[in-house]
Amino acid sequence: MEMKESRVINEENIAELKVALVYSQMNEPSGTRMRVGLTALTMAKYFRDVNEQDILLFIDNIFRFVQARSEESALLGYYEFKQAAMVKSVHTALRKQC
């Protein structure tokens, strides 16, 4: 609602829309919350690499991504020891290769 009121999202002119939103609520399952970050990252890379657009990727809280991965690990019965590597891969995935 706020996005419409502030005209970030203008439903009258969908063709000119320059925003993509991906979000999940904390009350959703950890698998859903874990995929949100990866989905947003994939979309950002698509806009950058395929559409050759400048992008701004805003992740509200990277801890939620880490927390969801930890919950998934606990449910599956193993220890996720590569959390730092996963967060680093999210950070480095958007770097353009020169």
Is residue 82 in a domain? yes
Domain limits for position 13: 2-92
- Distance, in Å, from the CA atom of 53 to the CA atom of 44, rounded to the nearest integer, reads 9
Is residue 97 in a domain? no
Is residue 41 in a domain? yes
Is residue 37 in a domain? yes
- Distance, in Å, from the CA atom of 70 to the CA atom of 51, rounded to the nearest integer, reads 34
pLDDT of residue 98: 38
How many folded domains does the chain comprise?
A: 1
This prediction has a pTM of: 0.63
User: Do 20 and 57 contact (CB within 8 A), yes or no?
Assistant: no
Is residue 98 in a domain? no
Q: Which tens digit of pLDDT belongs to each residue from 49-68?
A: 898 888 888 877 777 777 77
Is residue 28 in a domain? yes
Report CA Rg, the chain.
Answer: 16
> What does the CA dihedral 65, 42, 24, 21 come to, rounded to 10 degrees?
130
Is residue 11 in a domain? yes
* Whether residue 45 has pLDDT greater than 80: yes
Is residue 49 in a domain? yes
* Whether residue 44 has pLDDT greater than 80: yes
The helix/strand/coil state of 20 is coil
